[in-house]
């Protein structure tokens, strides 16, 4: 399944927690311009997979390549600096700071090196410019001066993505960006994903099947830590193994037939 265009390539990624194998030999590729969704029932191993790709937890086995280079041993900060950005299921903003300040801090953290203190002023102007651009892309420019804590739930999730964009990522690992959103907020987020897909390699973990089947170019299905199918949405929709795995679950409510 490895493509020559792939920016991030995981091969045989495995993670064990004691006697439990949360992720079993998962191979997955992310390419620029492609939105790759990973779906699976609760506990299938999706977050553990994202955590291994972002470097938050180490794999028990398997390899990771970023832009053709072995990145398996890279720390999370090193991966972030290289261009692997992620958003979280939980909100990670500073509520008392303004929207633009949250974004600027994310940009600054990505730009600054501790030994480059003499460049602080220059870096500050640069990080502010990056922050404004990220807010523009994320559709939050009009809210720049507001306290981040006063944003709606959906706007906070948009801000998290803007903060991620402020670190200039090439890969975006998005963990349930639609969670807790109403229909209008969800549509805004989907429109944002459509805008981001051209410039980034995106991994989307999402429970909203309607959304996944609408926006994904490729869908990988996990069950009990293992991949049972991976392909274009139409192929996944008609895959008997997937239908069996989801029988009586997420797909039985008609989402698979949307
Ligand atoms: N730090 C940990 N220690 C022990 N077990 C863990 C740990 N993290 C995850 N697990 C277990 O690994 C399995 C996969 O969990 P994971 O959170 O990756 O699934 P998921 O597909 O993201 O689920 P959800 O859709 O509910 O978020 C679960 O059985 C979970 O309890």
Q: Given the CA of residue 49, which atom of ligand 1 is nearest to it?
A: 18
By C-alpha distance, which of 81, 63, 80 is closest to 72? 63
The rounded Å distance from CA 90 to ligand 1 centre is 15
Q: Is 29 helix (H, G, I), strand (E, B) or coil?
A: strand
Do 179 and 69 belong together in one domain? yes
Same domain (yes/no): 179, 57: yes
> Average pLDDT over the chain, rounded to whole?
88
- pTM, full prediction: 0.88
Residue 89 domain flag: no
Instruction: Report the DSSP pairing between strands 69-70 and 61-66.
Output: antiparallel
Which of 168, 195, 226 delimits the end of a domain? 168
* Residue among 41, 45, 178, 227 whose CB has most ligand 1 atoms within 8 A, to mutate: 45
- Give the three-state DSSP class for 2: coil
Domain CATH for 50: 3.40.50.300
Index of the ligand 1 atom closest to the CA of residue 57: 1
Tokens at 233, concatenated: 């949405």
**Which pLDDT band holds residue 10 (cuts at 50, 70, 90)?**
very high
Q: How far apart (Å, rounded) are the C-alpha atoms in residues 237 and 243?
A: 7
Interface predicted TM-score (ipTM) of this complex, two decimals: 0.97
Q: Residue 70: enclosing H or E segment and its boundaries?
A: strand 69-70
Show the domain range for 158: 95-168
pLDDT confidence band for 119 (50 / 70 / 90): low
Distance from residue 224's CA to the centre of ligand 1 (Å): 10
Q: Which residue has the tokens 């089947």?
A: 213
Q: What is the pLDDT of residues 130-182, one digit of tens each?
A: 999 999 999 999 999 999 999 998 899 899 999 999 988 999 999 999 988 88
Q: Is residue 90 part of a domain?
A: no
**pLDDT per residue over 215-255, tens digit each?**
999 999 999 999 999 999 999 999 999 988 876 555 544 44
**Ligand 1 atom with minimal separation from the 41 CA:** 25
Is residue 65 one of the residues assigned to a domain? yes
pLDDT at 212: 95
How far apart, in whole angstroms, are the C-alpha atoms of residue 170 and residue 85? 7
């Amino acid at each position: 399944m490895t493509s020559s265009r792939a920016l991030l390539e995981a091969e045989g990624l495995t993670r064990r927690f004691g006697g439990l194998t949360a992720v079993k030999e998962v191979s997955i590729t992310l390419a620029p311009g492609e939105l790759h969704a990973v779906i699976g029932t609760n506990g299938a191993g999706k977050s553990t997979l994202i955590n291994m790709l972002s470097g938050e937890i180490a794999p028990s086995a398997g390899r990771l390549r970023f832009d053709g280079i072995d990145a398996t041993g890279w720390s999370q900060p090193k991966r972030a600096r290289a261009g692997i950005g992620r958003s979280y299921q939980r909100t990670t903003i500073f509520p008392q700071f303004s929207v633009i300040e949250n974004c600027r801090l994310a940009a600054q953290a990505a730009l600054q090196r501790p030994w480059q203190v003499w460049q602080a002023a220059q870096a500050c102007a640069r990080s502010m410019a990056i922050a404004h651009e990220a807010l523009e892309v994320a559709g939050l420019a009009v809210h720049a001066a507001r306290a981040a804590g006063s944003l709606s739930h959906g706007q906070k999730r948009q801000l998290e993505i803007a903060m991620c964009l402020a670190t200039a990522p090439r890969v975006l690992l998005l963990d349930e960006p639609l969670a807790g959103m109403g229909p209008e907020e969800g549509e805004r987020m989907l429109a944002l994903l459509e805008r981001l897909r051209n410039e980034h390699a995106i991994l989307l973990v999402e429970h909203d099947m309607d959304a996944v089947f609408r926006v994904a170019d490729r869908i990988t299905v996990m069950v009990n830590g293992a991949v049972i199918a991976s392909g274009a949405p139409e192929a996944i929709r008609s895959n008997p193994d997937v239908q069996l795995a989801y029988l009586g679950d997420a797909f039985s409510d008609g989402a698979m037939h949307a």
